[in-house]
Structure 1
Amino acid sequence: MQRILAIGGGGFMMEDSPSPIDTHITRLTGKARPRMCYLATPSGDLPAHLDKFDAAYGSMGCKTSHLAFFRQPDSRSILVSDFRPRLLEQDAIYVGGGNTRSALAVWREWGLDTTLREAWESGVLLAGMSAGAMCWFEAGLTDSFWGSAHRPLDCLGLLPGGCAVHYSSDPKRRETLHAAQQACTIPPSIAIDDFAAAMYLGTSLDRVFSWRTGSTAYQAYRDGGTVIETPLPAEQIGQ
């Protein structure tokens, strides 16, 4: 079963207390003590991010590890020289937030993009928040170019269409996504609020999860000269 969970915003990186989405990810693995690997490439492998992941998922009984391209390995590390077999034996791989464009460049240079596709095809649960959500799609609407506006970016292409994240937190994200749809510079997209996540089975959207009232995801596409935005029903978790 090929599964990807794209989180618009939230979880251990954004919430002060344990988040329902992190608990839900561990349950999705179906394992009592799942093997969880963290990719913090979008943040340049910040040690604070690695520590937060280890603390959050370690406290839930997971066997945590990380793959870091910018830090010296430690006892929790998967070695860069041997990442393919180690990633393929994971129950889940989680990608953190940060600069999507930079992360994709690093992954492609090291061949990690190919291994991530292989892991997905073999049944490893792929998950991620913000940059870690957009990276799986054909395109993401990102500020990774460090300009004043969000721009479309070619991503890994495991999932069809485009993706926008943190959709509820900044009105400019909606404005920019609609403009990109009008200009046909991004394919039909899913836009995901903070505290919401979209689950894909294979390449099809299966359901939307929410753990805060009002948070959901939207389908956005161009129909003639009009951009249509449709809110999706969300299944509440963590109640």
Structure 2
Amino acid sequence: MKRILAIGGGGFMMEDTLSPIDEYIVSLTGKVRPRICYLATASGDLPAHLDKFHAAYGNMGCETSHLAFFRQPDSRSILVSEFHTKLLEQDAIFVGGGNTKSALAVWREWGLDNVLKEAWEGGVLLAGMSAGAMCWFEAGVTDSLGRAMLRPLDGLGFLRGGCAVHYSSDQERRRSLHAAHQAWTIPTSIAIDDFAAALYVDASLDGVVSWRAGSTAYQTYYDGDAVVETAMVAANI
């Protein structure tokens, strides 16, 4: 079973206390002590993000590791020379937020994009927040070029359609997604609020979950006259 959890915003990177979405990821593995690897490429492997991940998931009893391309390895690292084998041994891989364009470029240069696809097809849960949510789709509305240049960016294409994140909390992202639809530069998309996530099973949307009142996800597309935006029912976690 191939699964991807796309998180619009929230979790250990944005919340000061243990987040329901992090607990949900652990539950999705079905393991008592799951092996979870963190990819912080989009933030340049920022040490503060690595530390927050290991603290959050380590405190939930997970066997944590990370893969860093911009930092020297430490005792918690998967070596760059071993990532093909080690990533396929994980129960889950979590991708953090940051610069989507830069992360994709690094992954493609190292061949990590192919390994992630192999892991996904082999049953490893792929999860991620913000850039780590958009990257799995054919396209995403990204601020990788700066806030004044929000625009679609080609993703890995594991999931069909486009993706936008931080949706209701960032009106500029909403305007940019609608403009991209009107220009026919992004396909039918899912737009995910902060504190909401969309679970895909075998590349099809299985459901939306949220852990804050009012947070959900929306299907968006252009019908030739206007952008249609339909809210989905989210299950509380």
TM-score, scaled relative to structure 1: 0.98
Query: Is 2:87 the counterpart of 1:87?
Result: yes
Q: What letter corresponds to residue 17 of structure 1 in structure 2?
A: T
Q: Superposed, which structure 2 residues align to 1:43-192 within 5 Å?
A: 43-192=43-192
Q: Deviations over 1:123-179 (max 9, x none)?
A: 000000000000000001000012503100001000000000000111111111111
RMSD, aligned CA: 0.6
The corresponding residue for 1:20 is 20
In structure 1, distance between residues paired with 2:147 and 2:168: 20
Letter of the 2:124 partner, please give it: V
Percent of matched pairs sharing the same residue? 76
The alignment of Structure 1 onto Structure 2 pairs a total of residues equal to 237
Look up the equivalent residue of 2:33 and give its one-letter code: R
CA distance in 2, matches of 1:49, 1:11: 12
CA deviation vs aligned residue, 1:60-118 (integer Å, no higher than 9, x gap)? 00000000000000001000011001000000000000000000000000000000000
| 1:223-238 superposed matches below 5 A | 223-237=223-237
Q: Which residue of 1 aligns with 2:206?
A: 206
Deviates more, 1:223-232 or 1:5-14: 223-232
AA partner of residue 153 (structure 1): L
For normalisation by structure 2, the TM-score amounts to 0.99
Question: CA–CA distance in 2 between the matches of 1:175 and 1:60?
Answer: 38
Q: Where does structure 2 lack aligned partners over 5 or more consecutive residues?
A: none
Structure 2: distance between partners of 1:85 and 1:97: 24
Following the alignment from structure 2 to structure 1, what is the Cα–Cα distance between the partners of residues 86 and 171?
41
The answer for the alignment partner of 2:3 in structure 1 is 3
Report the residue type matching 1:69 in the other structure. Answer: F
- Give unpaired runs (5+ residues) of structure 1: none
